[in-house]
Chains A and B, each alone.
Chain A
Amino acid sequence: MADDRELWERICSGDSHAFEGFYHETAPRLRNFLRQLLPAPHAAEDVTQETFLQMWRRPNGFRPERGSLRAYAFGIGRKRAAEWWRHHQPENQPERPEVSKDRAETNSLVSDVFERLSVDQKSLLWLREVEGLSYSELSEVLETPDGTVKSRLFAAREELRRIWHDKERAGGKRNEM
């Protein structure tokens, strides 16, 4: 936390070298997260860039005592992704997110299952399991109380598990046929 505070102070004072280091370390992870929330890789890339531009141009609002700078960036990214959806009419979007060739090749069973969760559940599980954010950080990022984070995390895990079971059963039935 102390390091984040120092890094934040450097960013606020316009230290582009410090920000560049933070960007290179965090941007791939954020882009990866946003790809789970947005329908196309280019949209995730755009939102990633917008997130870092916002942090660089208007470095406001980060509270080191409430979580890490990385969590703060993910919080902005998540809001930006929600804005992206607000400005893109749902009827113009594909029913299922478009999957790039690269991603299709590396998809596992769990990625297919994961895609079927709601955006909020995907955000929550990804931030907890992949990014390892604490409950208080999740609470900041998702703007919900700690207790709600826990109950939503439980519901998201259960939903992921249920879809996985359904998928497995369907696969089993196909195999039997």
Chain B
Amino acid sequence: MTETAGRVLPIYVVADESKSMTPVVHELNAGLSSLHDALLREPMAAAKVRFSVLGFSDDVVVHLALADLRAEESLPQLSTRGGTSYGVAFSLLLDRLPADVRTLKAEGFAVHRPAVFFLSDGQPTDPGQWEEPHRRLTDRDATAAAPNIIACGIGEARAETILKVATRPEFAFVATPGVEVGLAIAEFCAALTKSVIASGQAVGGDTAELVVERPENFRMALDVV
């Protein structure tokens, strides 16, 4: 009998590998490493995740693709080179996400909407060019597997840019000026770990209205549960 393989969440860490990241790239590597450790301590959470790591600069390098982290000895090390082209990262995701979802479905999995964790320390060096692939990537009519993008800006990255990258305002994080960049990266990785492990459902919904007034027929069943 064919049997469902379960449900998986594809997660993409898309990290800035531009030259300016050089002083902090080891912090990012350490953060990813502790994420790996945390997942290995929660095997049933790890079972639900397929993990990809992409590093972008003037080009984009796939360091890890759809990995089951229970089977990985360690995570790849990010390094630095060149500029900060957001466009190459979003173009690659635009190719890769639908193909990855097909691959997982062919393996028998039901697939959660992918999550992209985007981290940059600078303004894009391809202004006017990254917006179109980003728009197509996040348009759920154009890309059925359009991801939720959680964006984190550190260093020179501006809040308005990070807000444009994130798919919801509450998914945008910008390090407060003056906060040590290494600390901001550690917080980013902690948030990533928490969301990977919790994989909780979002509260709310667009087609439902909040009850804001006491209905006339209301009676409290019991004061204390």
Q: Do A and B bind each other?
A: no
Give residues in A with beta carbon < 8 Å to B: none
Query: B residues near A, CB below 8 A?
Result: none
